[in-house]
Each structure stands twice: as C-alpha cells, then as structure tokens.
Amino acid sequence: MKVKIGINKASQKKLAQKIQGYKDEVLKPIADANEITTRSIIRDARRNLKVNGTDNTGGLRNSMKKVGTQDNGLIHEIAPTVHYALDIEEGTPPHKIASGEYGDLSDWVRKKLGVSGNEVGRATYYVSKKIAEEGTDAQPFWFNAIALNEDKHIRNIKRELKKFFKK
C-alpha cells in the first residue's frame, strides 16, 4: 500500500535541464509541496477511517506515516504500516484468523463492541467465525485519500514553481 508522491525520474531530468544553476533553489519548493501533500493524504485517510467507523483501536490510524524520502525530498513514500491495512481497504474473502492476529481482533472486539472480561474471548470467537464464513466488507480509506489529493498536489507544485520563476 506504499505510495510515492513526487516527480518521476523522466520529469526530474526535464526539470533539471530547465533549471540549471538554480537547482537547489527550485527543488525546495517542490519538496515542500510533497510534504504538504503527504500530510494531507494522511489527514484525509484518517478522516475516512473515522467516517467508515473503522477507527476503533487507533492502530491503523497511527500507522500511517512517511516511511521514506528519495532524491532530496522530490519523492516521499507514505504508507499505513500495520499488516491488516489492505484487508480494511479492500475487504477480504472468507478466511480463518491466524493465531498471530487474534490479539488484534480481540482489541477490536473490546473497543468496537464494548465488551470486557470473559466476554471478550467469546465475542472474539464469534466474530472470527463470522469472518471465516463471510469475510469482511471493504472500508476504503487510503486510495480515496490519494485520489482526493492528486490534482491538489499538481496545483501546489505549479504554484511553487511559478513563484520561483517570477523572481
């Protein structure tokens, strides 16, 4: 689910030819636009989780972050880092819950259903049984946020470059 935000290699080469002698000065506004878009995508994805009602434990919400940068900030890599992010985004076919994921499901049951004590184990069992029989519905949050910010990002880069070239 990792996405790269920025300018591809071919566009970087074209830009480098146009801005020889000004490279460092021009690249900073572009890197700044990438940072703004990175924050905006994460903010919108978190909002989508809340709207979908899937922001229960905070694990997915808190896992969304910038995981890397390349080419002096011309490319930012962002992603939700929990293993179940794609399952939330796209839904799943019927499947058994792996033993390593049972704790995540128990946390979800505790917070989403408001159960505690001995009831957590029982409710988790029934939820896992339902998932094994029916799968889970998609709760889109990530790719919608990216799409929402694509045009805005291009406008931000253009605006920053126009500011530079008007100097």
User: Do 29 and 163 form a contact (C-beta atoms < 8 A)?
Assistant: yes
The tokens describing 1, both together, are 């689910």
User: Do 144 and 126 form a contact (C-beta atoms < 8 A)?
Assistant: no
Instruction: Please determine, for residue 21, whether its predicted confidence score (pLDDT) is greater than 70.
Output: no
Worst-scoring range by mean pLDDT, 16-20, 41-45, 99-103? 16-20
Task: For 83-104, write each residue's pLDDT tens digit.
Answer: 899 999 999 999 998 878 888 8
Amino acid 78: pLDDT:
94
The tokens describing 47, both together, are 């909002």
Instruction: Please determine, for residue 25, whether its predicted confidence score (pLDDT) is greater than 80.
Output: no
Query: Which comes out higher in pLDDT, residue 112 or 18?
Result: 112
Amino acid 26: pLDDT:
73
User: Do 156 and 33 form a contact (C-beta atoms < 8 A)?
Assistant: yes
Task: For 52-63, write each residue's pLDDT tens digit.
Answer: 988 888 999 999
User: Do 127 and 105 form a contact (C-beta atoms < 8 A)?
Assistant: yes
Instruction: Please determine, for residue 19, whether its predicted confidence score (pLDDT) is greater than 70.
Output: no
The structural domains of the chain, with segments of one domain joined by +, span: 3-82+141-165, 92-136
Name the one residue in this structure whose structure tokens are 């996405």: 3
With cut-offs at 50, 70 and 90, classify the pLDDT of residue 16. low
Amino acid 20: pLDDT:
64
Q: Is the pTM of this model over 0.85?
A: no
Query: Which comes out higher in pLDDT, residue 21 or 98?
Result: 98
